[in-house]
Amino acid sequence: MAMPPENHLNRRNFLAKTALGAAAVGAAVSQGRSAIAAEEGKAEKHSFKLKYAPHFNMFKASAGDDPVDQLKWAADRGFTAWEDNRMMTREVAEQERIAKAMSDLGMSMGVFVVTGNAGATEPTFTVKNEDIWKGVLDEITAGIEVAKRVNATWMTVVPGAYDLKLDWNYQTANCIELLKRCSEILEPHGLVMVLEPLNHHANHPTMFLHESPQSYQICRAVGSPACKTLFDIYHQQITEGNLIPNIEMCWEEIGYFQVGDNPGRKEPGTGEINFRNVFKYIHERSTKEGRDFIIGMEHGNSMKGTEGEEAVVQAYVAADKF
């Protein structure tokens, strides 16, 4: 029997609405699954090719205030190293607690600052003053115990301000002499001070050491395995650019890397530096030669909160895809 026209239309409308409803439910389920997958992807433990080293409070919103909880959170995301510029100033009990947590997590300790004021205006390394130099040597000596306590190999040294009244070459000779004395203290312990060139243009206009070729020259003159260069990609992009060729030229005297994009000094991908290519070069050459670099994440987060912290993780996931 033929269905009346109005009933036929009602049936068609009912079927259409049912189909739309089913489609909406299906889409909602699909979106829900996608959201869950995305959330699970955020919590994924990544297998990074290089030892990227965060620092305390970089993941504070996600992990909380406790330093050990921050270490655990970072390890859960795949980070295998850590650095802490302030380690020298921490209480011994706190140093030991951090060291134990890192050992339990299988994380390597990166740099801590042993001597040098990046904002200094009075010369230290560049002017031959035995009283000032004694203070530097005392700091180097004190750093040995801290390094042993936290299982560190590398200690950052900033050679301080330049002298406006003294020829640059005399300042270089003075710096080399003091670094040789520092090396004599460190060598028996297998420890390495890494000299950090700091840019004049954006952050540290008074610093004597500011170029990677300059640091290379000084390290060659010191001639010690205890004296190498900290090649901070952020600073050297500002000072000289030409990153991979300069890394290649300085390679034998580089002991450690730090990163930060430019402009802004935030995570990779927020500025102009092609970190994927830079990291690829470091990885390929270091793997070939059996060297094991730590890449210190000495930068801020481009966004606040957990969202910003997740952006940092994903920035390294992306830069590590080479």
Q: Does one domain contain both 239 and 96?
A: yes
pTM, full prediction: 0.87
> 200: phi > 0 → left, psi -120 to 50 → alpha, else beta; which?
alpha
Instruction: Say how far apart CA 188 and CA 31 lie, in whole Å.
Output: 61
**Token pair for 33:** 């699954």
Q: Does one domain contain both 2 and 120?
A: no
Query: What pLDDT sits at residue 14?
Result: 39
Query: What pLDDT sits at residue 38?
Result: 39
Domain count within the chain: 2
Q: Measured in Å, how far apart are the chain's first and last C-alpha atoms?
A: 69
Q: Does one domain contain both 116 and 8?
A: no
Q: Does one domain contain both 34 and 163?
A: no
CATH of the domain at 239: 3.20.20.150
Q: Does one domain contain both 67 and 207?
A: yes
69 by DSSP, 3-state: which? Answer: helix
Q: Does one domain contain both 255 and 282?
A: yes
Q: Name which of 59, 149, 154, 52 is nearest 98 in CA terms.
A: 149
Q: Does one domain contain both 139 and 7?
A: no
Q: Does one domain contain both 32 and 163?
A: no
Each of the 322 residues of the chain gets a pLDDT tens digit; together they read 444 444 444 444 433 444 444 444 344 333 433 333 334 445 899 999 999 999 999 999 999 999 999 999 999 999 999 999 999 999 999 999 999 999 999 999 999 999 998 999 999 999 999 999 999 999 999 999 999 999 999 999 999 999 999 999 999 999 999 999 999 999 999 999 999 999 999 999 999 999 999 999 999 999 999 999 999 999 999 999 999 999 999 999 999 999 999 999 999 999 999 999 999 999 999 999 999 999 999 999 999 999 999 999 999 999 999 9
Instruction: Say how far apart CA 156 and CA 230 lie, in whole Å.
Output: 7
Q: Rounded to whole angstroms, what are the CA distances from 102 to 53, 74, 132, 245?
A: 12, 11, 35, 34
83 by DSSP, 3-state: which? Answer: coil
Q: Range of 18's domain?
A: 1-42
- Residue 284 one-letter amino acid: E
Q: Does one domain contain both 158 and 207?
A: yes
Query: What pLDDT sits at residue 238?
Result: 98
Express each pLDDT in 33-49 by its tens digit.
333 333 444 589 999 99
Q: Any idea which residue has 């795949």 for tokens?
A: 78
Q: Does one domain contain both 71 and 134?
A: yes
Query: What pLDDT sits at residue 43?
Result: 80
Q: Does one domain contain both 182 and 313?
A: yes
Q: Does one domain contain both 52 and 30?
A: no
Express each pLDDT in 284-312 by its tens digit.
999 999 999 999 999 999 999 999 999 99
